[in-house]
Structure 1
């Protein structure tokens, strides 16, 4: 059946809910990784590299959390917008920066 204007009616089923849950799981995993990186910095002692890595982890965690919250909120509407490639690129960049900051903490921190 076709709706007026040529659009087919949308039946999202549970897909938006599954996507919201996936974003929440990803945020939880990202938070755990950031906390483990912070723990590593504290246990090894605060050095300039450790402070830089810890600050980077905190900033990237905050940015990732804001991005995921916006996406989860957008998925709550009746007809959620498609995620833009810009949002996806930022999410990937955040993950890569967190990995680099963790490597900075592990390899350049005091032993």
Structure 2
């Protein structure tokens, strides 16, 4: 299908489904990160609050909040008919937040 041509061929793109699926994917990922941060907090409280697990928990929450802000900003940009592509910088920050949550979350285990 040529660029900019919808299935009807009238030259306009149906903006309905793809941005909505992308918004939902960002929301699911944010929810998964929230669950991971919550489990890190639960593990920290269950195993006793020591300095290393507490630092790991604080950094996990910081990474989650950073990801939450990035995801919220991206979700808002998807409400236009032709949303811009995700910038490379934002993609790197998103990946860094997920990796940081994995590393810092493991610090809550001892």
Give the TM-score normalised by the residue count of structure 1.
0.85
What does residue 82 of structure 2 align with? Answer: 79
| 1:37 aligns to 2:6 (yes or no) | no
Shift of 1:12: 2.9
TM-score, length basis structure 2 = 0.86
Unaligned 5+ residue runs, structure 1? none
Question: Structure 2: how far apart are the matches of 1:37 and 1:102?
Answer: 6
Q: 1:96 aligns with which of 80, 95, 99?
A: 99
Matched, 1:65 2:85: no
CA drift at 1:2:
9.6
Secondary structure of 1:67's counterpart equals helix
For the 8 Å contact 1:27–1:68, the answer to whether it is kept is: yes
Per-residue deviation at 1:15?
A: 0.3
Where does structure 2 lack aligned partners over 5 or more consecutive residues?
5-10
Kindly report structure 1 stretches of 4+ aligned residues shifted beyond 4 Å.
Answer: none
2:52 to 42, 49, 53: 49
Give the alignment's Cα RMSD to 1 decimal.
Answer: 1.9
